[in-house]
Amino acid sequence: MEKKLSWKQALLLFSLIFGMFFGSGNLIFPVHLGQIAGAQWGPATVGFLLSAVILPLLSLVALAVTRSESVFDLIRPLGHKPATIFLVALQLCLGPIIVAPRTATVAYSFSFANWLPKGQQQIGLIVFALIYFILVYWSSTQSTKLLDIIGRYLNPIFLAMLAFIFILAIISPMGSTTHQAVTTAYQGNAIAPAFIEGYNTVDAMAGLIFGVTIVHSIQKLGYKKPGEIATVIVKTGTLSMVVLAVVYVGLILLGTTSLAHMPISSNGAVALTNVMLYYFGRFGQIFIAVMGTLAVFTTAMGLTASFARDLNRVWPRVSYKGWLAFASLLAFIVATLGLDKIIVWAAPILMFLYPIAIVLILLSLLSPWLSQGRFLYGWALGLTLIAAVFDGLSNAPFAKDLGGLVSYTVGTTTHVGWYQTHIFGASAGFGWIGFAFFGIVIGLICQKLFGTKTKS
């Protein structure tokens, strides 16, 4: 007889999933989007939700449909070695190289960065990041208590604080949402650039990474059958994403209405801090310091725990705690570079990885009809990889040094590159779609001719 999910279990898992997804990027990028979209916040919100909510939900559904425990299982049709390479690359980039250190720098930006003098900022960041990742390591070693730590204690506090901000903003809005200036990128079709902006939340890929921790937590609640686990993932994942969408809309509106009293900020952390100062004065700095740290800390825990568990599964000679220590140490080192440098270098990495992740999610969702054949996955992901390389290079700090191969911007002038000129959709960041389409077509033809053999 199938085990039924109780309301208590559903709420606990919802809080776990929400807490793992909602971190530093989810807190600051929607506010920044609200500022740069201005009066175009409506269509911009649609584009942002497509990539920051729908795609993450589909990533969880993909795990459920294929009955996979992690991204390793999703990409395994290509063979053990390619699956291992992709898993390690994804875990490194989204764990200790980008997202985990970004959580520490955002927490620092919300807190001690506002209180320390300019000359002590770097040493302050180093000390803060060291303590931060020591706590992340300790919390993640309590693997049997991970569900309780995130679900029962941290997130209810954070959600209550966030709800209070939104209620205050509704009662006393900072300004209008219809008469605010719109930046150049959003004056035309605001959906497309906002969709790309949603990449910064990294939630579509995070869904693939967090899958192992989510499945493990579901199993701890007594659900052992693959069908039961899949059902629980779909139910609780949908609930989590709906709440996440509501939070995003609120944050975007905060950013848009803030333009009535302040200029566009350099990043979302500055914008949100200014919003808190407007509503609460100096107390706002303390408020955002506590709220922001709670939000990002849960994500750091989820990332390091999933990283350690996935790599321990691939290379069991190194223990879970060993991989956890490695992730925490590397994240600490990267965090000392500061938020600005992390954001700059994250852009090309995300533009490279996101197309691959989206196609992988799509193939997984269609697997009941298309199967999980090596030819299909090889051609689809292989051709997508080509376009992804160009997309990554287009957003790299050294793009201008590539001889016009890709577009780059100097000041306010954009120099259009060969890739953006000749590949349909490339100028908007969607050149990979055509490559993926032809890859799927070729893969299906090969699959029809040579069978659906999957490498082991």
Q: Do the beta carbons of residue 383 and residue 396 sit within 8 Å?
A: no
Domain match, 82 and 33 both: yes
Domain match, 321 and 377 both: no
Q: Do the beta carbons of residue 292 and residue 106 sit within 8 Å?
A: yes
Domain match, 251 and 373 both: no
> Is residue 358 a part of any domain in this protein?
no
Pairwise CA distance, residues 256 & 258, whole Å: 5
Pairwise CA distance, residues 192 & 402, whole Å: 26
pLDDT at 175: 85
Query: Between these two residues, 83 and 319, which has the higher pLDDT value?
Result: 319
Answer yes or no: is pLDDT of 151 > 60: no
Say what the pTM is: 0.86
Domain match, 104 and 30 both: yes
Q: What percent of the chain has pLDDT over 90?
A: 36
Amino acid (one-letter) located at 22: F
> Is residue 356 a part of any domain in this protein?
no
Q: What percent of the chain has pLDDT over 70?
A: 94
Domain match, 295 and 413 both: no
Domain match, 200 and 326 both: yes
Residue 251: domain span: 10-347
Pairing of strands 408-410, 413-415: antiparallel
Quick check: helix, strand or coil at residue 127?
Answer: helix
pLDDT tens for each residue of 389-401: 999 999 998 999 9
Say if residue 57 is exposed, middle or buried (CB neighbours under 10 Å; 0-12, 13-18, 19+). Answer: buried
Q: Give me the mean pLDDT over the 61-84 stretch.
A: 80
Domain match, 121 and 214 both: yes
Quick check: helix, strand or coil at residue 409?
Answer: strand
Pairwise CA distance, residues 332 & 326, whole Å: 10
pLDDT tens for each residue of 272-317: 888 888 888 888 788 788 877 877 887 788 788 878 887 888 889 9
Domain match, 241 and 379 both: no
Q: How many domains does the chain have?
A: 2
pLDDT at 456: 46
Of the residues 347, 375, 392, the one at which a domain ends:
347
pLDDT tens for each residue of 196-231: 999 999 889 888 877 767 877 888 888 877 778 878
- For the ranges 10-19, 140-149, 228-237, 433-442, which has the lowest average pLDDT? 140-149
Domain match, 289 and 419 both: no
Give the CATH number for residue 265.
1.20.1740.10
Please tell me the chain's helix, strand, coil percentages from 3-state DSSP, rounded to the nearest 5: 80, 0, 20
Answer yes or no: is pLDDT of 454 > 60: no
Pairwise CA distance, residues 236 & 53, whole Å: 14
Answer yes or no: is pLDDT of 443 > 90: yes
CB atoms within 10 A of CB 312: 17
Query: Between these two residues, 436 and 152, which has the higher pLDDT value?
Result: 436
Give me the residue label for tokens 């709670």. Answer: 294
Query: Between these two residues, 156 and 208, which has the higher pLDDT value?
Result: 208
Domain match, 328 and 394 both: no
Pairwise CA distance, residues 104 & 112, whole Å: 11
Pairwise CA distance, residues 4 & 228, whole Å: 9
Give me the residue label for tokens 């693939």. Answer: 208
Pairwise CA distance, residues 400 & 187, whole Å: 25
